[in-house]
């Protein structure tokens, strides 16, 4: 049958994927520490109908080949790790990263995951945990009976609390940040978490504010880096591209109808 | 049998080829660095028609040849026999560039190609949506290393800059054993580490597209040569080149294809009608 039918279909499904990505970005416009995705496209394989250099006569060669492409495919989605803006919350558990790096948390199965979402809470054991109860690693254990308002995290990640009756603040732990050679290769697993893999490289740990890490801002959270205007423009492009590809399918259909009408 | 049938059919097939090219262009309307294809057609060999069983006409004027020669099969004219697809031609026109602010996105402004090293040999591409591989090498979306003039390009995040000439710089003042943050880089000791290999071939018309944004040089196109000075396209860091497909012309052409297809169908049907007349009406027994 007509190749253009499938070519148009590949264009439509590609744009559908594009819209899926944009929709996910827009729905996470208010998600703490969310990094937007970008869908990248590549052309599909080409069918060569005639190879360039085929002898045309005894002395001459066919100078150009005849190639026809078969549509488009999704090459991949890429996370764009640009800085989101920081929002002051006044909440003692909130930490925002200014610059590079991820917090590390331990998941329910004991494996590590990484996140930019620093909206931490304090659980019943006095530990710093995420919204899902995953512990921040290395562990930060707050002593029993500490004054809640006194929790303070410095820019370089040292955690201080005050205990009733003691004048000097007590240092209870050190928050570390982790970086990857290729953060775009990290795998997003939902819940604002990422896990490392072969593409991202091994995690590299350091104290916030040193060795290329960003510093922490206490009582701030990082908002998502989704740019609504850009997403809207991308959505217009995707919708129109979808529409045009549907027209190729319609045209192919009309032409097949014409061909079928040859025989009366 | 009836010559017009085959002429009409060749027209219909040629329009199908055009639609194939058009639909591929539209499917890739949003593909980075895509170059549109145009389907070029050529006429089938033409026939020389002669009139036989003729009384004859004088071949040359009488005053030049007093005896006179008689041509018994004078030429009537030429007759075309249809159309076929000749080639699909890739238009390497500049696409517009859009800003992405991602330092690994590169766009070429002008004629030329990036070189990537695939397991099957070096290939050319206009798609500059690169990323950093796990070993710190700049790679394509599929993990093929992007080539500089001295081999693969090894950089660190936040510690490389690419100028318009394609030269890659890094700040040597920073420690080498760790990653760099965006704010700490002051570019005290900026040194050139390599230059992007940006090439072109003598006859880009003969390049062969391979899919996945890769293009292969052929024997006909000539060997890729590194571009220098005025010929070298500008490299824009933080930009991507969009496809050069123009939706308006593609849609207009699609209308054309549709109608030309229809017209060719009419040709066949008319011939069919005429043949039907001949068979059924002329010889009524």
Q: Is residue B65 very low, low, confident or very high in pLDDT (cuts 50, 70, 90)?
A: low
Nearest to B205 among A64, A99, A199 (CB): A64
Q: Are residues B120 and B178 in the same domain?
A: yes
In chain B, what percentage of residues exceed pLDDT 90? 36
Q: Is B57 among the domain residues? A: yes
CB contact under 8 A, B24 and A80: no
Nearest to A67 among B205, B209, B251 (CB): B209
B13 touches chain A (CB under 8 A): no
| Of A259, A255, A235, A236, residue with least CA distance to A247 | A255
pLDDT in tens, B179-210: 787 777 778 888 889 999 999 999 888 888 88
A236 touches chain B (CB under 8 A): no
| Of A68, A67, A71, residue with least CA distance to A9 | A71
Q: If you count residue pairs, one on A and one on B, with CB atoms under 8 Å apart, how many are there?
A: 219
Report whether pLDDT(B64) > 70: no
| Of B237, B274, B245, B268, residue with least CA distance to B107 | B237
| Partner B, chain A 200-219, Cβ-Cβ below 8 Å | 200-201, 204, 206, 211-214
Nearest to B88 among A7, A67, A247 (CB): A67
A248 touches chain B (CB under 8 A): yes
Q: Are residues B1 and B62 in the same domain?
A: no
Give the angle B130-B234-B199 at the CA atoms, nearest 5°: 70
Q: How far apart, in whole angstroms, are the C-alpha atoms of residue A229 and residue A22?
A: 11
Q: Is B102 among the domain residues? A: no
CB contact under 8 A, B141 and A251: no
Work out whether the CA dihedral A120, A126, A127, A130 comes out positive or negative: negative
A74 touches chain B (CB under 8 A): no
ipTM: 0.73
Q: Are residues B177 and B267 in the same domain?
A: no
Q: Are residues B146 and B161 in the same domain?
A: yes
- Beta-carbon contacts of B114 under 8 Å, excluding residues fewer than 6 positions away, are B106, B108, B124, B125, B126, B128, B146, B147, B196, B197, B198
Which residue ranges make up each domain of chain A?
3-81+226-260, 89-222
Q: Are residues B86 and B160 in the same domain?
A: no
pLDDT in tens, B206-260: 888 888 899 999 888 889 999 988 889 999 999 999 999 988 889 999 999 999 9
- Ranges under pLDDT 50 in chain A: none
pLDDT in tens, B130-168: 988 878 899 998 889 999 999 899 888 888 889 989 999
Contacts of A16 in chain B (CB under 8 A): none
CB atoms closer than 10 angstroms to residue B212: 20
Return the pLDDT at B174: 81
Q: Which of B2, B5, B24, B241 to mutate to test the interface with A (most CBs of A within 10 A)?
A: B24
Q: Are residues B222 and B251 in the same domain?
A: no
| Of B204, B248, B20, residue with least CA distance to B94 | B204
CB atoms closer than 10 angstroms to residue B47: 12
Return the pLDDT at B59: 60
| Backbone torsions φ then ψ of A23, nearest 5 degrees | -60, -40
Q: Is B101 among the domain residues? A: no
Q: Is B8 among the domain residues? A: yes
Q: Is B58 among the domain residues? A: yes
Report whether pLDDT(B54) > 80: no
CB contact under 8 A, A181 and B23: no
Return the pLDDT at A13: 92
Nearest to A82 among B101, B184, B262 (CB): B101
Return the pLDDT at A232: 94
If you search the block for the tokens 């008689």, which residue do you land on?
B70
Q: Is B240 among the domain residues? A: no
Q: How far is CA A174 from CA A128, A138, A219, B30, in A?
A: 12, 8, 17, 47
Return the pLDDT at B211: 87
Q: Give the helix/strand (H/E) hosting A121.
A: strand A121-122
Q: Are residues B123 and B213 in the same domain?
A: yes
Structural domain for B144, as ranges: 110-231
Could you give the 3-state DSSP secondary structure of residue B263? helix
| Partner B, chain A 127-166, Cβ-Cβ below 8 Å | none
CA distance B48 to chain A (A): 22
CA distance A9 to chain B (A): 8
The overall longest dimension of chain B from CA atoms, in Å, is 103
Report whether pLDDT(B62) > 60: no
Q: How far apart, in whole angstroms, are the C-alpha atoms of residue A117 and residue A155?
A: 16
Mean pLDDT along residues B52-73: 63
Q: What is the 3-state secondary structure (H, E, C) of B104-142?
A: CEEEEECCCEEEEEECCEEEEECCCECEECCCCEEECCC
Q: Are residues B209 and B118 in the same domain?
A: yes
Q: What is the tally of structural domains in chain B?
A: 3
CB contact under 8 A, B219 and A53: yes
Contacts of B24 in chain A (CB under 8 A): 4, 7, 43, 68-71
Buried-state track B87-102, b at ≥16 Cβ within 10 A, e below 16 = bbbbebeebebeebeb
What is the pTM assigned to this prediction? 0.80
Return the pLDDT at A1: 62
Return the pLDDT at B257: 92
């Amino acid at each position: 049958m007509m190749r253009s039918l499938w070519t148009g279909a590949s264009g439509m499904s590609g744009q559908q994927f594009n819209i899926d990505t944009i929709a996910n970005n827009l729905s996470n416009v208010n998600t703490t520490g969310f990094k937007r995705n970008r869908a990248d496209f590549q052309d599909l394989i080409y069918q060569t109908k005639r190879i360039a250099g085929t002898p045309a006569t005894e002395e001459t060669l066919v100078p150009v080949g005849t190639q026809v492409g078969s549509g488009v495919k999704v090459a991949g989605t890429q996370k764009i790790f640009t800085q989101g803006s920081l929002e002051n919350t006044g909440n003692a558990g909130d930490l925002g990263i200014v610059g590079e790096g991820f917090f590390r948390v331990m998941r329910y199965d004991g494996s590590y995951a990484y996140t930019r979402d620093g909206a931490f809470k304090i659980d019943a054991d006095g530990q710093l945990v995420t919204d899902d109860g995953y512990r921040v690693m290395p562990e930060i254990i707050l002593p029993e009976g500490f004054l809640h308002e006194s929790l303070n995290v410095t820019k370089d990640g040292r955690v201080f609390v005050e205990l009733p009756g003691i004048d000097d603040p007590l240092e209870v732990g050190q928050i570390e940040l982790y970086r990857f050679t290729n953060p775009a290769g990290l795998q997003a697993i939902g819940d604002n978490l990422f896990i490392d893999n072969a593409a991202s490289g091994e995690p590299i740990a350091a104290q916030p504010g040193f060795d290329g890490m960003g510093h922490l801002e206490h009582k701030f959270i990082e908002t998502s880096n989704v740019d609504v205007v850009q997403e809207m423009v991308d959505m217009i492009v995707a919708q129109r591209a979808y529409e045009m590809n549907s027209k190729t399918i319609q045209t192919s259909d009309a032409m097949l109808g014409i061909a079928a009408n040859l025989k009366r | 049998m009836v010559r017009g049938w085959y002429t009409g059919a060749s027209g219909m097939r040629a329009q199908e080829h055009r639609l194939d090219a058009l639909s591929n262009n539209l499917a890739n309307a949003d593909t980075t660095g895509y170059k549109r294809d145009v389907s070029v057609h050529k006429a089938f060999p033409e026939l020389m028609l002669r009139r036989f069983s003729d009384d004859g006409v004088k071949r040359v004027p009488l005053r030049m040849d007093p005896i006179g020669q008689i041509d018994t099969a004078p030429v009537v004219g030429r007759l075309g026999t249809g159309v076929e697809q000749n080639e699909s031609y890739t238009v390497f026109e500049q696409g517009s560039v859009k800003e992405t602010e991602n330092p690994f996105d590169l766009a070429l402004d002008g004629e030329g190609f990036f070189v990537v090293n695939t397991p099957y040999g070096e290939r050319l591409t206009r798609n500059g949506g690169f990323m950093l591989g796990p070993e710190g090498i700049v790679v394509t979306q599929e993990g093929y290393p992007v080539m500089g003039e001295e081999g693969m390009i090894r950089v660190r995040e936040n510690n490389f800059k690419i100028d318009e000439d394609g030269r890659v710089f890094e700040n040597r003042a920073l420690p080498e054993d760790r990653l760099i943050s965006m704010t700490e880089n002051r570019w005290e000791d900026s040194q050139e580490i390599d230059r992007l290999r940006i090439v072109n071939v003598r006859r880009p018309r003969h390049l062969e597209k391979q899919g996945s944004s890769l293009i292969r040089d052929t024997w006909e196109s000539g060997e890729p040569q590194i571009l220098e000075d005025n010929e070298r396209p500008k490299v824009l860091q933080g930009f991507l080149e969009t496809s050069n497909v123009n939706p308006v012309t593609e849609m207009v052409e699609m209308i054309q294809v549709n109608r030309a297809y229809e017209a060719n169908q009419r040709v066949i049907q008319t011939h069919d009608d005429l043949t039907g007349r001949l068979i059924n009406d002329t010889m009524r027994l």
